[in-house]
Structure 1
């Protein structure tokens, strides 16, 4: 089956997923116009589109709703299953209401079901689409391989293909309200710098990094830890068995923390949190605090 055979007369334009251009592009000339934009059909310059397929593309593009100025959008069309390998070929329009041509780079895309649940996720190099002209809609096929799909069957009507803005915004500080109220602006800036200077996380990695430790007067131990989440989804911590090792890898504290309310670390974010070990959980005699490591206890 050829590329153009994927687009059929029976296809219909479905849900639009729209973002402001500044969410995806660092520097771009935006329009000061406030009038809605009807995007024009645009083909990739390397495409030699048969006349019959041009008719289909024109029919589909005429169904598109206008965009507000300075927006980028993905308009869903349909999904075809590749019976040979189980991948999903997702047909969509990538649309721009910007007043000038743009080029995109690597961008994460989601497939969302009608309830907004992620059913597939993959990073695409959108340079392959070429230069997207001003105020245009370019048809494309986004292939999600079987290992990027988290659903057992095609979604019902109402699904969307959307930009993964979490992957674009970079790793961020997720500060609980109780911390925001206690910390000065300077302290918050210091935390943000610490997080920025830490090694990058893998896309499914969760990591605990210690940044402050204090032996209390009652012989208890207070440790402040950076809870780092590299996932594209938030994680919820309901309970945490935790141990602390000193510079010599000696265990100086071990305890089980039941977190109520549940402690949530947002997607692609780091949340600082303090855990206090009572004295009966601490053995800090002769401990070397020059460096220390928090670890999930086995």
Structure 2
């Protein structure tokens, strides 16, 4: 039982965490036009929550104390943090200022101390909250497992629950490419990155850009190496296979890379040349092709 449920007087019932608001456009790609400047959020319990009347009263009291939201916001309003059998239990309101109901998906949440230092970081399946009605505030308990904790001790006051916002997936150019490419060529690569769906969080993959046979029979392929993780990665060996339009293997070979780094959440272009000996098919049809890591 949360300690706030054991408090006897209204003046003893108060939130211990802070409020953090986020743009709905940034989080769920939703934006509404409205003339309202302040939006109150009504309390909404998950259908599976069958709470005694006194516990409903506490949540209702806390919700009534919340500041209004601005249009097009999703807010995390911290109520209480405590230790549970599964880890650190964080109780908070998830608030929706849109007029329409929302359904959240998987997201990484951060538990921050009063200095905005990370106490814990964990990925949650937020679809478990169910459909959150428009202009509503839904209480929920988020359990950060012990292995997600970054510190062993922290204050139970003035903490913040926040979404970890990923920076926009961007282009990463090696210095030699930065110097050698024209501004138009750089812009073209940026446009491809911006118009292509980024890799999923934590995913690393490759995407073909250009393939061409030279006069000596070697195959020149330019690809994007796409890093969807939140860390810079080093690549030393990369075995690749090219499949032509007929679905047959056109080329195959392994490549050694020296001091090759792809920055976090970026796509880096690179050219790999398959020598004639690594070409597996005469006159491959490169009108349509894919390149993949040969595992």
Q: Establish whether TM, by shorter chain, passes 0.5.
A: yes
SS at match of 2:95: strand
SS at match of 1:183: helix
The two structures have a TM-score, normalised by structure 2, of 0.66
Structure 2 contact 209–223 (Cα < 8 Å) conserved:
yes
Query: Which residue of structure 1 aligns with residue 267 of structure 2?
Result: 271
Q: CA deviation at 1:215?
A: 8.5
Structure 2 contact 219–279 (Cα < 8 Å) conserved:
no
What does 1:98-247 align with in structure 2 at a 5 Å threshold?
98=98, 100-114=99-113, 115=116, 117=118, 119-126=120-127, 128-134=129-135, 136-146=136-146, 149-151=148-150, 153=152, 155-156=154-155, 157-166=157-166, 174-176=170-172, 178=178, 181-183=183-185, 195-196=196-197, 203-212=201-210, 224-231=222-229, 233=230, 235-237=231-233, 239-243=234-238, 245=240, 247=250
Does the C-alpha gap of structure 1 residues 180 and 37 become closer, same or farther in structure 2, counting only changes over 3 Å? farther
5+ residue gaps, structure 1, are 277-281
Query: Which residue of structure 2 aligns with residue 279 of structure 1?
Result: none
Does the C-alpha gap of structure 1 residues 17 and 184 become closer, same or farther in structure 2, counting only changes over 3 Å? same
Structure 1 contact 209–294 (Cα < 8 Å) conserved:
no
Instruction: Tell me if 1:80 matches 2:82.
Output: yes
Does the C-alpha gap of structure 1 residues 17 and 126 become closer, same or farther in structure 2, counting only changes over 3 Å? farther
Structure 1 contact 104–127 (Cα < 8 Å) conserved:
no
Query: Which residue of structure 1 aligns with residue 43 of structure 2?
Result: 41
Does the C-alpha gap of structure 1 residues 103 and 8 become closer, same or farther in structure 2, counting only changes over 3 Å? farther
SS at match of 2:277: coil
Query: Which residue of structure 1 aligns with residue 22 of structure 2?
Result: 19
Distance 1:271 1:292 in 2: 15
Q: CA deviation at 1:47?
A: 4.4
Does the C-alpha gap of structure 1 residues 210 and 150 become closer, same or farther in structure 2, counting only changes over 3 Å? farther
Distance 2:45 2:258 in 1: 59
5+ residue gaps, structure 2, are 8-12, 242-249, 285-289
Structure 2 contact 204–225 (Cα < 8 Å) conserved:
yes
Q: CA deviation at 1:271?
A: 0.5
Instruction: Tell me if 1:93 matches 2:89.
Output: no
Structure 1 contact 78–91 (Cα < 8 Å) conserved:
yes
Q: CA deviation at 1:57?
A: 2.1
Distance 1:78 1:122 in 2: 19
Does the C-alpha gap of structure 1 residues 216 and 8 become closer, same or farther in structure 2, counting only changes over 3 Å? farther
Distance 2:141 2:162 in 1: 14
Q: Which of 21, 31, 35 is 2:34 aligned to?
A: 31
SS at match of 1:265: coil
Cα RMSD (Å):
4.4
Does the C-alpha gap of structure 1 residues 174 and 50 become closer, same or farther in structure 2, counting only changes over 3 Å? same
Distance 1:155 1:72 in 2: 26
Query: Which residue of structure 2 aligns with residue 284 of structure 1?
Result: 275
Structure 2 contact 206–291 (Cα < 8 Å) conserved:
no
